[in-house]
Amino acid sequence: MSHNRIHNFNAGPAALPTSVLEEVQESLLNFKGSGMSVTEISHRSKQFDDIINDAVERTKRLLKLDDRFKVLFIQGGASMQFCMIPMNFLGGNKSADYVDTGTWSTKAIKEVEIQGKKINVVASSKDKNYSYIPKGISFNKDAAYVHLTSNNTIKGTQWASFPDTNNVPIVSDMSSDIMSRPLDMDKFGFIYAGAQKNIGPSGLCMVIIREDMLSMVPDDLPSMLKYSTYSSKNSMYNTPPCFGVYMVQLVMKWLEETIGGLEKMDAINRKKGETLYGFMDSSDFYNATAEPDSRSLMNVTFRLPSEDLEKKFIDEAQKNGLGGLKGHRSVGGCRASIYNATGQDAVDALVDFMKEFEKKNG
Amino acid sequence: MSHNRIHNFNAGPAALPTSVLEEVQESLLNFKGSGMSVTEISHRSKQFDDIINDAVERTKRLLKLDDRFKVLFIQGGASMQFCMIPMNFLGGNKSADYVDTGTWSTKAIKEVEIQGKKINVVASSKDKNYSYIPKGISFNKDAAYVHLTSNNTIKGTQWASFPDTNNVPIVSDMSSDIMSRPLDMDKFGFIYAGAQKNIGPSGLCMVIIREDMLSMVPDDLPSMLKYSTYSSKNSMYNTPPCFGVYMVQLVMKWLEETIGGLEKMDAINRKKGETLYGFMDSSDFYNATAEPDSRSLMNVTFRLPSEDLEKKFIDEAQKNGLGGLKGHRSVGGCRASIYNATGQDAVDALVDFMKEFEKKNG
């Protein structure tokens, strides 16, 4: 661990590649010989144009986006998208289908209801405390879109594949698994992702929008709440979150040049998941909380035999250089977030620690 | 100039104190021995609580805010505030007074009109190309608020003092002069400021709201568009722009501990302004564009005898380590933005260069 860095299992803001952080560090007083910090250059400069255009182009290559898709950077996190999505896509008398897989989709649903827009909650896993991803859902053919949360950071569930929606575009919150695997983009009309888990710091949200979705945007929305404002100005109608865009650019470069693309990233993530879930399945001491076919490869949630042992586990792990293992305050327990930047070495170190802890306390 | 840094006259994103950038740089791989970057720590951690609380407390001390005021951090820049302000404060049948001093106030007015809210534009300096701040304005006693832009970055104008509004709260966009001088807070109900000029990087907006203004917020707004959401959760209803809040904290610390408060900052800024305007007043070659009693101490806009000379001036200045002197693309000419972090040394170097340039080209 260079720079005395710990293994970081935070749920977000979360681990970023050390090489990215080193490059950011170098640019903080003098960015590429400009004599200015990367935080001090104008967003109307050639330097920043290069940053944002490279971030967009790398995103397009990584996800194999064709020319129908625009990549935007919007502030306010995924939570702002919860309200912007119905505002932009449910004009007139339209309605949308939502799947409720817990916390984040529940919040997304609430923000549609606040606006008095029409909505059908077509499936929910609330009956089993959101521990699984619903299957065999009937979607409405006339829905403007189908909304789903691809990965639930709190309950540790993830859609292993995306459902057939009768060509209704999927609108997906991918805050916690964007860029963790390749996507079949034919199914998606709109993807959004708060950056602070897999692709950058907090303070910006990546939005991928298919151009036909832009035609649904009503004219009379405030400028900053309309997707067309962002798409017509390359996300620079007003000053964008420049530092965040810069970090996203570097993370995309790392994904392309160091990792080698999303197929490779996916393979790495699968191996990490197998290591951790595989170990827990062989143990009676640790219990993964999500149903096996709905397990998240990003957020591994688990319980120990008692809350006292969980507290001891989290504290001792921290002392052993394994940070951020506490479960979300709404559910308790333990959680290891193993996003892209948390490597196999971190997972191996965690499993070693878990074995040792079980031996002493089991 | 350490780190081979230039004198940075950018309008925003703009110069930040070098000592602040050095501290940020140190925290990028391992923040205060946490083993994590400042961009990787959880917003629910003790470390981040300390950051945001310190940023708020220092802001309160610097502006001498009493307990009626809350300091919030919101994403989307000042442009998002243009639409949030009427959404939050013009519920029911209320109306507001707006003063139009160009570009930014014009945009703020447009975002009220898009929402179909009632508005009175009580004064405008459009008749003289926004080169002055209107005087002797009659405000409506029953207005919910009076909106004004304290400093116009593009036209180089600034309110030297704030008008008597018959106790109607002033709502002011202070993006480009927040923390440049002390304020008489009795006049203000709401202040907002995109951080990227005087207090931090782009990507967050500081909002100062008096608690009675919170009672005007309608219940049925989307969560992320309501000020009460931010004020009830210390700006952490969702993940805040952590890195930006951290930089704001360090800039506030610099203002308190290195500069010594806003009276001292004001004195420094006045001296910088006198140096630059004083020199131009003694020259026939350089012409400040704003009327003398409306001149901005933050953005000094000026013209040379021809556009060719202006281009040459900007290019040669850049080669001499004086960056960012081009006027806004909407007006042309030259502009020296001399925010808090651009010191007297930078202004002196600029005046020396201007004298030299005039000698050769005058």
The DSSP result for A87-112, as a single string, is: HHH--TT-EEEEEE-SHHHHHHHHHH
Of A259, A276, A311, the one marking the end of a domain is A259
Residue-wise pLDDT for B283-332, tens only, equals 999 999 999 999 999 999 999 999 999 999 999 999 999 999 999 999 99
* Six token digits for residue B199: 């207090």
Whether A143 is in a domain gets the answer yes
Whether B3 is in a domain gets the answer no
Whether B5 is in a domain gets the answer no
* Six token digits for residue A192: 């959004």
Q: Compute the count of residue pairs across chains A and B with CB atoms less than 8 Å apart.
A: 221
Residue A59 identity: T
Residues B44 and B85 in one domain: yes
User: What is the CATH classification number for the domain harbouring B178?
Assistant: 3.40.640.10
Interface contact B203, partner A, CB < 8 A: yes
Residues B233 and B100 in one domain: yes
Give the whole-angstrom CA distance, residue B38 versus residue B52. Answer: 13
- What value does the mean pLDDT of chain A take? 97
Whether B276 is in a domain gets the answer yes
Interface contact A202, partner B, CB < 8 A: yes
Whether A186 is in a domain gets the answer yes
Residues B197 and B80 in one domain: yes
Residues A168 and A309 in one domain: no
B1 close to B322: Cβ distance less than 8 angstroms: no
Residues A43 and A133 in one domain: yes
pLDDT at A2: 65
Residues A132 and A235 in one domain: yes
Residues B81 and B134 in one domain: yes
Catalytic residue among A97, A100, A173, A177: A173
Number of folded domains in chain B?
2
Give the whole-angstrom CA distance, residue A184 versus residue A64. Answer: 9
Residues A159 and A246 in one domain: yes
Q: B239–A12: do the CB atoms touch at under 8 Å?
A: yes
- Give the number of C-alpha atoms closer than 13 A to the C-alpha of residue B23, restricted to the C-beta side: 14
Q: Once rounded to an integer, what is the mean pLDDT over residues A336-341?
A: 98
Of A259, A279, A307, the one marking the end of a domain is A259
Statement: residue B2 has pLDDT above 80: no
Whether A3 is in a domain gets the answer no
Interface contact A120, partner B, CB < 8 A: no
Residues B30 and B166 in one domain: yes
B94 close to B147: Cβ distance less than 8 angstroms: no
Residues A43 and A169 in one domain: yes
Residues A152 and A60 in one domain: yes
3-state percent breakdown (helix, strand, coil) of chain A, nearest 5: 40, 15, 45
B-chain residue closest to A85, CA distance: B222
Q: Which residues of B touch A203 (CB under 8 A)?
A: 75, 203-204, 240-244
pLDDT at B3: 86
A positions 215-244 inside 8 Å of B (CB): 220-225, 237-244
* Six token digits for residue B270: 């006045």
Give the whole-angstrom CA distance, residue A156 versus residue A161. Answer: 16
How far, rounded to the nearest angstrom, does the alpha carbon of residue B29 sit from its chain's CA centroid?
30
B-chain residue closest to A198, CA distance: B40
Identify any residues that bridge with A146 across adjacent strands, giving them in sequence order: A97, A170
Q: What is the DSSP letter of A319?
A: H
pLDDT at A3: 86
Residues A85 and A179 in one domain: yes
Residue-wise pLDDT for B252-284, tens only, equals 999 999 999 999 999 999 999 999 999 999 999
Catalytic residue among A104, A117, A226, A326: A104
pLDDT at A1: 45
- The range of the structural domain enclosing residue A170 comes to 22-259
Of B193, B227, B259, the one marking the end of a domain is B259
Helices (H), A91-226: 103-114, 211-214
pLDDT at A12: 94
Whether B7 is in a domain gets the answer no
User: What is the CATH classification number for the domain harbouring B273?
Assistant: 3.90.1150.10
Q: What confidence tier does B362 reach under pLDDT thresholds 50, 70, 90?
A: confident
**ipTM, 2 dp:** 0.97
Q: A242–B202: do the CB atoms touch at under 8 Å?
A: yes
Whether A81 is in a domain gets the answer yes
Residue-wise pLDDT for A235-273, tens only, equals 999 999 999 999 999 999 999 999 999 999 999 999 999
Residue-wise pLDDT for A207-227, tens only, equals 999 999 999 999 999 999 999
B positions 287-326 inside 8 Å of A (CB): 321, 323-324
